[in-house]
Amino acid sequence: MAGPTHYELPLPEFDKPVKLLIAVAPYYRDIADGLIVGAEGVLSAAGATHEMIEVPGALELPAAIAQAHRMAHFDGYVALGCVIRGETTHYDTVCNDSSRGLMLLGLQGACVGNGILTVENHEQAAVRADPEGQNKGGGAAAAALHLVALGRRWGQPRGDVGFRPASDEIRLAGRDRA
């Protein structure tokens, strides 16, 4: 028996190039590979380009994306990884903190698609990561693209708020008076 269906928004269209960063925690390499294939397929379908980096685990994904957001020039970010429940509460910490970190980045203006699977076992992860199945990697890429499209629709950040720095002419003129 098939599960309930869900609606997926059509991919946005862009008039200017879009470049995303795919950040991957390949702790479970086979699962990560499926997520990557799905994400790359969606980005390709939307005409977007990407770079990819790997980090040790899901907890490092928000930090890596935060660094890229501060230091590089990407339109959006796709976080991919998998956390499988173990025998300790470490699972809860990794799930909650990685998700919270990505959410905070989004609230600060980063266009982040969260593709970190949080599952009970490897079989659940494999179904969700399969690009021909649930394609959660592709879903995370689509989410990032939709956020990029919203940002472009509403314009660029307004920039600095408050006083404007004095122009070079005014600063130089002030030195002559001293």
Known catalytic residues are 90
SS3 49: strand
Using alpha carbons, list the distances in angstroms from residue 94 to 32, 53, 81, 90, 110.
Answer: 16, 20, 11, 6, 21
SS3 8: coil
For residue 159, count CB atoms less than 10 angstroms from its CB and return exposed for 0-12, middle for 13-18, buried for 19 or more. Answer: exposed
For residue 124, count CB atoms less than 10 angstroms from its CB and return exposed for 0-12, middle for 13-18, buried for 19 or more. Answer: middle
Longest dimension (CA), the chain: 83
Beta strands in the chain (DSSP E): 19-24, 49-54, 76-84, 112-119
